[in-house]
Amino acid sequence: MSDEKIIEIRNLTRVYGDGVEIRALDGVDIDIEPGEFLAIVGPSGSGKSTLLHQIGILDTPTSGTILLKGVDITKMSDRERSKTRNRELGFIFQYHHLLPDFNALENVMMPLLIKGVKRSEAKKIALDLLEEVGLSDRIHHRTTQLSGGENQRVAIARALVNNPSIVIGDEPTGNLDSKKSDSIYELLRRLNREHNQTFILVTHDEQMAAKTDRVIRIVDGKVVEDSRDGVPVREI
C-alpha cells in the first residue's frame, strides 16, 4: 500500500447528551488509503454508525479532525460540506431509499439531474451503470416490480453515478438473504477493483467483514482492532 491517505482521522470524539454524557466516539484515529476495501464492525451501540456519519459528512464531531484528500471537512461551511459530499461520496444504505414513483433508470439518473447534467448525458451514464450491475433488462421497472437484491443493485448504481472517490455502505446487505447478500458483496468487490474506488462498509456481519481486505473494530467508541488480511495495521 502507498503512503498516500484519502482519509486521515485524528482524535475524533462525538459526545451526545445534555447532563448525561454519552461518548459515541472517544479519540478515534484512522488512516484510509485510496482504493481500500474495508469493513467497520462492532456491536450495536459501539459507535460504528456514528463514525460512518462523520466520514460521510452527515454529522459534525465534538472534537478532532477528519482530512479528506488533505482538507479538514470538520471546518467546512454547510455549503462546502454539501458540495464535498455530493462530489466525493456515494452512499449505499441497508434500505435502498429509492424513489418509488420512478423506475430504475430514473432513480440512477436523479443525482446527475440534480447536479445539472444534461438529461441525455445523465441517461447514458445511468444506462452504462445499470448494465454494469446486471440490470440492463430492468431499467423501466419501478421499485415495487424489483426484488430486494435488484433494488440494492439500483442503489449501488445510483451511489456510483457521480463517480465518487469513496463509496460508503451502511449495512448494504443487512436486509437480504444469504444468497443475495453474497451476490451484492461480490458486485461491490468487483466494482472496487475495476474502478479503484475506496469502499467503506459498516456492518455487523462478521462473515462479510472477514472477506474484506481490512477490518476496523469499534467497541464503546474506541478502535480496538485495525487489521489488514489478519495482520495488525498498527498497535492499539
Domain CATH code at residue 158: 3.40.50.300
Average model confidence (pLDDT) across the chain: 88
| 213 belongs to a structural domain | yes
Is 2 contained in some domain?
no
- Whether 89 is covered by a domain: the verdict is yes
| pTM of the predicted model as reported, rounded to 2 decimal places | 0.88
User: Are residues 205 and 184 in contact, defined by beta-carbon separation less than 8 angstroms?
Assistant: no
Residues 114-157: tens digit of each pLDDT: 888 999 999 999 999 999 888 889 999 998 898 888 888 898 89
Contact by Cβ (8 Å): 66, 12? yes
Total of domains in the chain: 1
In a domain, 22, yes or no: yes
Q: Is residue 235 part of a domain?
A: no
> How far, in Å, are 3, 33, 73, 200 from residue 84 at the CA level?
23, 18, 8, 17
- Nearest Cα to 225, choosing from 44, 24, 40, 47? 40
Helix residue ranges, H only, 92-212: 104-115, 119-132, 148-160, 178-195, 206-211
Judged on CB neighbours under 10 Å (0-12, 13-18, 19+), 12 is: buried
Q: Is residue 32 part of a domain?
A: yes
Q: Which domain range does residue 169 map to?
A: 7-230
pLDDT per residue over 12-52, tens digit each?
999 998 778 889 999 999 999 999 999 999 988 899 989 99
